[in-house]
Amino acid sequence: MYNTTSAAAATGLAAIFGILLFFAFILTFGYLIPAIIVYWRVMTKAGEPGWKALIPFYNWITLGKIAKQSTLGWSVAGVMLANVLIQNSSLSNLLSLASFGLFIALIVQLSKQFNKAAGFWWLVVLLPIVAVFMTKDLQYKGAVVAVASPIALAAEKVKPEDKPQA
């Protein structure tokens, strides 16, 4: 005999699973990809390699360095890592609160380095898909350490006025 109740339950579970996959897809392409693009641009504007935006925890250390608050970046990364390692306890809730407070302090310091209001950085956090279009005109106030290529160094050594006239 064929049980119609179990078939209906399986169909319902498949539908719920499909809906969850749809929302995971929307979350990935609507939030995570734009957030990576924004943090990549922020890091390249500050003279850091953009690939650092892809590495969890290390990206917070780099943002702390950009914000001229290295200890703050290390603190955010350390508290977030501890929160991941210590799950399902009251300490985890306390670490989440601490990480949020440190994150706010990091946002304030980043806003000072890029001459943007803290509201811009909240837009980066909450709606990165909108912030992607607003990061093109970012100007980093800190000192950018640019790595010069050998070709640029060679061109700098020989200036047009140094060449002999024929």
CB 72 within 8 A of CB 109: yes
Q: What is the pLDDT averaged over residues 150-166?
A: 54
Q: Give per-residue pLDDT as tens, 101-128.
A: 888 888 888 888 888 887 888 888 888 8
pLDDT at 126: 83
pLDDT at 148: 47
Q: Does residue 88 have a pLDDT over 80?
A: no
CB 58 within 8 A of CB 78: no
Rounded (5°) CA angle 137-139-141: 170
Q: Does residue 64 have a pLDDT over 70?
A: yes
Q: What is the pLDDT averaged over residues 10-18?
A: 85
pLDDT at 159: 53
What whole-number distance in Å separates Cα of residue 59 and Cα of residue 65? Answer: 10
pLDDT at 52: 92
